[in-house]
Amino acid sequence: GVGMGMTAPVSITAFPAEDGSFQQKVKVSLRIPSQFQANPPCPTDESIKIEERQEMTIYSTQFGGYAKEADYVSYAAKLRAALGSDAAYRKDFYLCNGYDPPMKPYGRRNEVWFVKE
């Protein structure tokens, strides 16, 4: 019953298949605004969970435009190539982040994050 508005980034956890595409399973995460973090309202929908994201170090790449799955997969591949085989990061998932509302046509910001092990 509490309106919190939209926050940024909207973060999608992607679980890549062997070919790099998204598996059917994804997790969408929204940041709880600062004023609600100490005592967030309880979700009324059982599919919504409140999780605390632990501190992490990431490898990241940024790109513009209206991001689609193919864009995230492509930029994840580019980030993987740029890091080479020596970088230690989680291979079982990565994070796809969008920072802009849908009605913003220009100057959009999207990122792919690999979580450092």
Q: Are strands 110-115 and 22-30 parallel, antiparallel or unpaired?
A: unpaired
Residues 102 and 95: their CA atoms lie apart, in Å, by: 19
How does pLDDT run across 59-90, given as a tens digit for each residue?
999 999 999 999 999 999 999 999 999 999 99
pTM as predicted? 0.88
Domain boundaries, the chain: 10-115
Edge-to-edge strands of the sheet including 110-115? 22-30, 10-16, 94-98, 110-115, 58-63
> Is 10-115 a domain of CATH 3.30.70.250?
no
> pLDDT at position 21, please?
77
DSSP string, 26-72: EEEEEPPPHHHHSSPPPPSSTT----PPPP--EEEEEE-SS--HHHH
Residues 28 and 26: their CA atoms lie apart, in Å, by: 7
DSSP one-letter code for 89: B
Which region among 14-23, 83-92, 105-114 has the lowest average model confidence (pLDDT)? 14-23
